[in-house]
Amino acid sequence: MRDNYNRDINYMRVSVTELCNLRCRYCMPEEGIAKKAHEAMMTAEETIMAVEAAARLGIRKIRITGGEPLVKRGIVHLCGAIADIPGIEEVCITTNGTLLPKFARDLKAAGVSRLNISLDTLNPEKFRYITRIGELEDALAGLKAAEDAGFSKIKINNVLMGGFNDDEVEDFVNLTKEQPIEVRFIELMPIGGGIGFDRAQFVSCETVLERVPQLHSLNREEGVARLYALPGAAGRVGLIRPVSCEFCEGCNKIRLTADGKLKPCLHSDQEISLKGLDTDQMEETLRGAIMDKPQKREELGADSPSKAGRDMNQIGG
Q: Is 253 marked as binding a ligand?
A: yes
CB 179 within 8 A of CB 151: no
Residue 26 among known ligand-binding residues: yes
Starting at the edge strand that comes first in sequence, how are the strands of the sheet with 155-160 ordered? 216-222, 225-229, 236-240, 182-187, 155-160, 114-118, 90-95, 61-65, 11-15, 253-256, 261-263, 272-273
d(CA 59, CA 268): 21
Is 254 annotated in some ligand binding site? yes
Question: Nearest 5°: CA angle at 60, between 308 and 76?
Answer: 80
Instruction: Please state, in angstroms and rounded to a whole number, the distance separating the CA atoms of residues 59 and 253.
Output: 9
Residues making up the chain, counted from first to last: 317
Question: 63 among the known binding-site residues?
Answer: yes
Helix pair 100-110, 136-148: axis angle to 10 deg: 30
Tell me whether residue 49 is annotated as binding. no
192 marked among binding-site residues: no
Calculate the CA dihedral of residues 11, 62, 28, 161 and round it to 10 degrees.
-60
Flag whether 132 is marked binding: no
Q: Which residues of 146-159 are buried (b: 16+ CB within 10 A; e: fewer)?
A: bbebebeebbbbbb
Is position 245 annotated in a ligand binding site? no
Residue 220 marked ligand-binding? no
| Residue among 253, 294, 249 at smallest CA distance from 270 | 294
> 11 among the known binding-site residues?
no
Q: Name the phi and psi angles at 222, rounded to 5.
A: -130, 110
Rounded Cα gap, residues 80 and 68, in angstroms: 18
Q: Is 79 annotated as a binding residue?
A: no
Q: Is residue 92 part of an annotated ligand binding site?
A: no
Sign of the torsion angle spanned by Cα atoms 93, 242, 192, 137 = positive
Is 24 annotated in a binding site? The answer is yes
Closest CA to 3 of 226, 224, 246, 248: 248
Nearest to 57 by CA among 294, 289, 258, 277: 289
For the annotated binding site for [4Fe-4S] cluster, the residues are 20, 24, 27, 248, 251, 265
For the annotated binding site for GTP, the residues are 13, 63, 94, 155, 253-255
For the annotated binding site, the residues are 13, 20, 24, 26-27, 63, 67, 94, 118, 155, 189, 248, 251, 253-255, 265
For the annotated binding site for S-adenosyl-L-methionine, the residues are 26, 67, 118, 189
